[in-house]
Amino acid sequence: MSSTTDQSQRLSHLAIVDASGADTESFLQGQFCNDLSALTPPSSQLTGYCSPKGRLLAAPLLQRLTDELFRLVLPVDLLESLLPRLRMFVMRADVTFAHREDLAAVAIFDATDALFQSAGLDVPTLALETRSSGDASVVKINDSERERWLMVLPESAAPADNTVETHAETWRLHDIRAGIPSIVAATSESFVPQMMNFAEVDGLSFTKGCYPGQEIVARTQYLGKLKKHMQRFVAAAGVVPQPGDTLGEAGSADAGDVVDAVRRADGGVELLAVVRIERDAKAALPLAGGSATPASLPYAPPGPAADSKAG
């Protein structure tokens, strides 16, 4: 795995943070919106870190590698705000956060057993199934379109760092098609978890204990106050919007707030945007140089009928 191939691609837009110590489980359980106490090592889950107002500050992939070692994989541009915030609440708890700059995130597509064996790892076959060996770890990503895994390797074993932007866009495109939500610096504190379809991707628990913003998140769920959800859109051409951009007139019932967007190899654009639930399900979003029409997700996004239900 010393060179970049179609099967293994470095994802330099992602950072690795390890959290370790005797109190790590209880500390993270009190910070994140998913129930990590249900994780037995090695295993993974999507989760969210909310502000006291219930808005997502980050949406990391959380791996539990041992009883006391947890790994967060998240966008690099969140590190400057996220790590100091987490450390601020540690106080006397036995928890240490380390930005693992000696490790690299690597995308694995359509892999062979030999590719995993070279890293000393077995092949996970089920969604979010996880394997680890030393500093290396790998998790199977839930994607019905193409088999893919997220692997973490020592820098010395990772693919060469070239054409990184293309690799990141390929990975993000598959996340968009799978409806996997992402938070970057530009969208931090913009959405409550339900707006990002967190329950639909098993990233949110309504039965765990308290965490920052839990009261707002629960009220949104149980009182039927959810007005927006995340939807996928596609365009044959046009300018690629940036996360955090608003497509359409700001404040309009037909506007959409961009979660992520990438250009396909054929020049088209695909994106995830948070839109009002009551908007016309067939209505396009305006895009500079084009028009983005609604496209399917592998699950049904939350709607008005589901908002008043518990869990």
Final residue of a structural domain among 144, 159, 178: 178
Express each pLDDT in 63-83 by its tens digit.
999 999 999 999 999 999 999
Tally of domains within the chain: 2
Based on the domain organization, do 157 and 25 belong to the same domain? Answer: yes
CB 75 within 8 A of CB 63: no
Type and span of the H or E element at 88: helix 79-88
Shared domain for 246 and 112, answered yes or no, is: no
pLDDT band for 127, please (50, 70, 90 cuts).
very high
**Do residue 52 and residue 144 come from a single domain?**
yes
Residues 247 and 168 in one domain: no
In the prediction, which pLDDT does 37 show?
93
What is the reported pLDDT for 166? 58
Contacts of 134 (CB under 8 A, 6+ apart): 120
User: Residue 310 — pLDDT band, cuts 50, 70, 90?
Assistant: very low
Q: Identify which of 294, 288, 286, 233 has the alpha carbon closest to the alpha carbon of residue 264.
A: 233
Q: Please tell me the least confidently modeled range out of 28-42, 156-170, 274-288.
A: 156-170
| Residue-level pLDDT at 225 | 83
Q: In 3D, which of 216, 170, 171 has the Cα closest to residue 48? A: 216
- For all residues of the chain together, what is the average pLDDT? 91
* Boundary-marking domain end, from 178, 208, 238: 178
Looking at the whole model, is its pTM more than 0.95? no
Residue 208 counted as domain residue: no
**pLDDT reported for residue 5:** 41
**End-to-end CA gap in the chain:** 43
Confidence of residue 110 (pLDDT cuts 50, 70, 90): confident
DSSP for 240-296, written as a single string: PPPTT-EESSTT-TT-EEEEEEEE-TTS-EEEEEEEETTS-TTPPEEETTEEEEEE-
